[in-house]
Structure 1
Amino acid sequence: MTPERDLGRLLTGLRPQLAPGRYVYATVTGAVPAGVDPVVTVAEAEGRTLVVRQEEADAAGLAYDFVAALITLRVHSALDAVGLTAAVAAELAAEGMSCNVVAGFHHDHLFVAYDRAEEAVAVLERLARRSA
């Protein structure tokens, strides 16, 4: 499948999918603890940021303060596509929702406040319909 670059087609093809579970951001300065399988890692000067399932963080004794839901935009977005992140973030921001975006090779993944996950999916679905 060829990745999409056209913003209009990206928006109409969002197809947001809510993953089961709760995800948290934690940080470690050494190795990833046993039993923790991050869905995202980011190397920073202060340590390694891990995005992991909440139950894994709890079992490993990792500290966190933001519990998120994971929404995958199933449109196959090109890594050099322009405007998708901005459009999605602006739409959610207009509803008072924060959004942490991670680009994968095939899809973009959004981490939103867990207690507003269903609402975020609805906002993204409206954006896709309005863009058609």
Structure 2
Amino acid sequence: MYGETDWRRLLIDMRPEMNPGCYVFTTGRRHPAGVTLVVTVAEREGLTPVLRQEDAEAAGPGYDYVAGWLALRVHSALDAVGPTAAVAHELARAGVSCNVVAGFHHDHLFVPYEVADRAMDLLEGLSHRSAADVA
């Protein structure tokens, strides 16, 4: 099933959802044994595994950024133009940093844990304003 490409429809239908818990970005040459990874990015300098904070604490990799994980529940196409820029802009205007990861079905946002509820409110507001703009 191919995802949605219309950026307005993506903003209207984004349905942000917060995953429970805290998530951290770690680094190393390989992922920590015995933990479930949320995301892994392979860079020249090594891996960047993202995992639940309690898993990182049990497995030992260090971290200094604790994030909330928001998922945009709309099925977005990987070649959709505009929605992640609009979402990042909305959060940036409010001073909320955002690390975006695209999955095959959905876009995922990692925001500072302490402002994750605020980020949810901002995204829901963006979705409602987008719907009003086309009405």
TM-score normalised by L of structure 2: 0.94
**1:121 paired residue number:** 120
Alignment of 1:45-124 (within 5 A): 45-124=44-123
- Which 4+ stretches in 1 moved above 4 angstroms? none
Shift of 1:118: 0.6
SS for the counterpart of 1:43 is strand
**2:15 paired residue number:** 15
Q: Deviations over 1:77-115 (max 9, x none)?
A: 000000011100000000000000000000000000000
Shift of 1:2: 4.0
SS for the counterpart of 1:22 is strand
In structure 1, C-alpha distance between the alignment counterparts of 2:8 and 2:19, rounded to whole Å: 25
In structure 1, C-alpha distance between the alignment counterparts of 2:124 and 2:108, rounded to whole Å: 15
Gaps of 5+ in 2: none
Identity level (%): 63
What root-mean-square deviation, in Å, do the aligned CA atoms of Structure 1 and Structure 2 show? 0.8
